[in-house]
Amino acid sequence: MKNLKPFLRCFGIILMIELIVVSNLDWWQFRIITKPMVVGALLVFFLMQKADKKTRVLVTTALLFSLIGDVQLIYAGEYESLFIGGLFAFLMAHIMYIIQFSRTRNKNVGFFPPLLVLSAYAVSIFWYLSDSLGNMAIPVAVYITVILVMILFAYLRDDSMTDNNYIYVLSGTLLFMLSDSIVGITRFKSDIPFSRILVMGIYGIAQLLMVLGILKSSLTRVHGVP
């Protein structure tokens, strides 16, 4: 990958700035700049790399939807419509990732064991939040289902363990789920200490791992570059 090390240093600085800003409510207005920069930097880096056409379209679209969701969720505490809009934007991002992951399905890997585990988690988190969801019950249920389908397809990918492509993508999807779980709990149930820092830190790393894993996989598969 081109300029990977400089990018990782730059991304680390951008993410750290966002974590500093999000930890201080007096600086909240600056998040309209710092928060989109996290995924924005990933998008610019991704577009600089070589990848097959379908991968470029799907991942670019996923990152653009993520950017839209990021901006809307900055003010979601004040406007419920923005929370719903952000939820929809990330739903679309997950669907783009699902399509991308499904392109490299390993049909020799069984889906029932991970499906059972993921379903147990989905039911548990929804049951925990259910008495506080109100009219958001159906949208949240759909969102939980889609993100767990994304994880399932990440698990079912036929990819390189040696180059860590598979591990990057699967770890990224699991971290994405963790970040979204913290958002759901703090939004509908109860606060979690340092939740804002945890959400953005985990989310930023999740998107980074997914993009790096997809790029490494695409380079290895199409160009034979390790």
The pLDDT tens digits for 54-88 are 999 999 999 999 999 999 999 987 888 899 999 99
Q: Could you give the 3-state DSSP secondary structure of residue 220?
A: helix
Tell how far CA 75 is from the center of its chain: 19
If you compute the radius of gyration of the chain from its CA atoms, what whole number of angstroms results? Answer: 17
Distance CA 177, CA 54 (A): 25
Question: Could you tell me where the DSSP H helices lie in the chain?
Answer: 4-22, 31-48, 53-74, 80-102, 112-133, 137-155, 165-188, 195-218
pLDDT at 149 over 80: yes
**pLDDT > 70 fraction of the chain, expressed in percent and rounded:** 96
pTM: 0.93
Residue 193: what are its φ and ψ, rounded to 5°? -55, 135
Q: Give the per-residue pLDDT at 162.
A: 65
